[in-house]
Every structure is written in C-alpha cells, then in structure tokens.
Amino acid sequence: MKIAVGMSGGVDSSVTALLLKEAGHDVIGIFMKNWDEDDNIDSKTCPAVQDYEDALSVCQKLNIPLYSFNFSNEYWDQVFVGFLDDLKKGFTPNPDIFCNREIKFNVLMQKAFELGAEKLATGHYANVGPQYELVRGIDKNKDQSYFLFTLTSDILEKVLFPVGAYNKEDIRKIAERGGLLTYNKKDSTGICFIGKRKFKDFITTYMPPAKGVFQTPDGKVVGEHSGAWYYTIGQRKGMGIGGPGEAWFVIGKDISTQVVTVVQGEDNPLLLADSLLATDLSWVQSPPQTPYACTAKIRYRQDDQECLIEKIENGTAYIKFTHPQRAVTPRQAIVFYQGETCLGGGLILQKLV
C-alpha cells in the first residue's frame, strides 16, 4: 500500500515512517509549512527550516521521497483568522484542533491522495478502531485524541496512527535503533505559529495594547492591564496583582470595557460550575441518544470527568458534571469519551449557573 506520512521533523512522525517502511509499505513523506515568519523575526523562534532539514534527513535515511508544500495561505484563512476573531471577542481558542480539521486532515490529505497515496499517516498518539472509531493512544500521558475529536469515521477510514500503539519512550528507542537523528529531539510545545516567544509578545503584533483594569465582582479595582484578550479564565500568573490574601484568579472579562474580573482563592465558588453549554458539535460516528452518561475533558491534561449529556437541541449540548468543574472557558473544547473511545466533542459556549 502506498502511504503518505506527514513529516514534521520530530521523532513521532519519523518513527511513523520507519514503522510503515519496515512493514513493507510504499512510503512517501510530506512536509508542510503552515506559517510564514516575518524576515525580521529571529529564526530561532520558528524552527521550520531545521524541522524540514530533520525531516529530509530521516527520509534520506529511510530511502523515501519527501515532498514539501507551503500551506501558509490556507492556514491563515482557515485557522489563524478565526483564532484572532475569537481572541477579539474575549474567547480562548484552541488553534490545534482547527489545524487538524482544516489543514492536516483536509488540505494535507488531499495532497497525499494527489500523490497517489491510499492513506495518510501521522505521528499522533491515538488509534483507529475496527469500525473507524477514534480510540485513545496507549500512552496516556501523550494521548492526543482530545485534539482529534473533529475527525469523523469517514476520515479515520483513510488515516493511520502507528505510534498510537506505543509509549513515548519506546518510540525514542525505535528511532535510535533505526539510526534516525530525531531520536532525542525535544518535543515541540505550544502553538506552532508562536514558537518560542511568549504569547503576549506575539499577539501584540495583531492586537495592540488596550488599557484596562482588574476588578473584583463587587467593582473594586485591584490592578491595571494592557489588554483583556491577553488573559484567560482560571489564569493565575502574569497579572501582577499583589496585596494580602490568597492568589488572584481570572473568572471573566469584558472586551468592550476592557475589564478583567478576578477573585481570590483557587477554590473560590465563582471559579466553579457543574453545567455548561457546548456548540460546534462534531461526532466521530453519530450523536448519542440523550440523556447519555459518559466522561469528558474540558482541557487537554485534565483527568476524565463523569458527566451527563442531558440533551442536544438546535446544535447545542447541555452538559451536567457529577462534580463541579474549575475554570470553564468559552471556545475551549469539551471532548466526550466512553471508556477508551472518543465520541466527539464541541466548543464550550458558556457555563451555567
């Protein structure tokens, strides 16, 4: 079978290509560039050149061709514009989810098929079930199903996730055994187009500072800031609010007035909610019949939380958790699971009081 591998220049995609090559498949590599940096930016902040060189080295080692495509325009139009729009509205978007849906498993997949591939393989830590379900990766610390919930079964039918059956440490050992220079390469973290820069430093290029205040729910001003969009629900660090008592946490923000509302105490009741609404729903196979008991995550590193999907009405899901959830954040993803299977998910609209 001819299989295209999305080569990122990291160890996971490198081993993906190695495993498929060793299994006897006709493997080709595809490298995609999704972001065009300003020439004045320090090249170390966006290591696309180094990533390409590493991907090329791996492909040469494996004796497979590497094709390179620039999807910067598509990324800008289909991911980044929406990311900025959400920030301007005061939301906290997750561009990785939309990059997977719009770029990797859409634009990149189309290129793979144009090159004659029958399937697209990536280095994601996830698995595809026998009925094209989305299943968690074996390594629970690296599982990436949370970021893949928008992939429907008809897409998963064309996808392979070879590293999903391994733990990360085993992947590095396989890479070293195979003589791949990426075997000890550090994992990339954060949002791809920001690189090693601080989020605030990057976003000021597109969203200039706007003076505002931190204030308590009863209207007491406790500090100043330079833009409400730089802060997210549940945030503790980076606000510069001193004074006596417990640490301060963000519980809300109003972009129109540039007011960021804060409270003291990690367990402050105003940080908690046991119900929420979710929209932009996407189901791997079909929507569940409600009411439906399952588990969910409202952030990537969170443990599974017991919940009930009470109803789905007009594209909106009503979710009630067994235990109150901390820092329910609009436009972050809520992803549903039944055991090891990812059912799908949506974007948080708002918490319910």
pLDDT tens digits, one per residue of 202-248 = 888 888 889 999 999 999 999 999 999 989 999 998 898 988 889 99
99, 294, 307, 342: the active-site residue: 99
Distance, CA of 9 to CA of 313 (rounded, Å): 43
Domain co-membership, 13 together with 53:
yes
Total tally of structural domains belonging to the chain: 3
Domain of 315, CATH number, reads 2.40.30.10
Domain co-membership, 148 together with 8:
yes
Query: Is 114 a domain residue?
Result: yes
Please state, as a whole number, how many other Cβ atoms lie within 10 Å of the Cβ of residue 47.
Answer: 15
pLDDT band at 251 (very low <50, low <70, confident <90, very high): very high
Domain co-membership, 83 together with 180:
yes
Query: Is 125 a domain residue?
Result: yes
Q: Please name which of 202, 93, 109, 207 lies closest in space to residue 154, comparing C-alpha atoms.
A: 109
The first and second tokens of residue 231, run together, are 């802060």
Query: Is 293 a domain residue?
Result: yes
**Which tops the pLDDT comparison, 308 or 200?**
308
Query: Is 189 a domain residue?
Result: no
* Predicted local confidence at residue 176, as pLDDT: 96
**pLDDT of residue 194 exceeding 90:** no
Domain co-membership, 35 together with 166:
yes
Q: Answer yes or no: 307 catalytic.
A: no
Query: Is 331 a domain residue?
Result: yes
Domain of 169, CATH number, reads 3.40.50.620
Q: Answer yes or no: 342 catalytic.
A: no
Distance, CA of 97 to CA of 183 (rounded, Å): 26
Distance, CA of 126 to CA of 108 (rounded, Å): 18
List 68's β-bridge partners, or say none: 31
Which residue range is the domain that position 244 belongs to? 209-266
Rg (CA), the chain: 22
Domain co-membership, 233 together with 131:
no
**Which ranges of the chain does DSSP label H, i.e. alpha helix?**
11-22, 48-62, 72-75, 81-88, 95-99, 108-114, 153-156, 168-177, 199-203
List 215's β-bridge partners, or say none: 221, 261
pLDDT tens digits, one per residue of 78-104 = 999 999 999 999 898 889 999 999 999
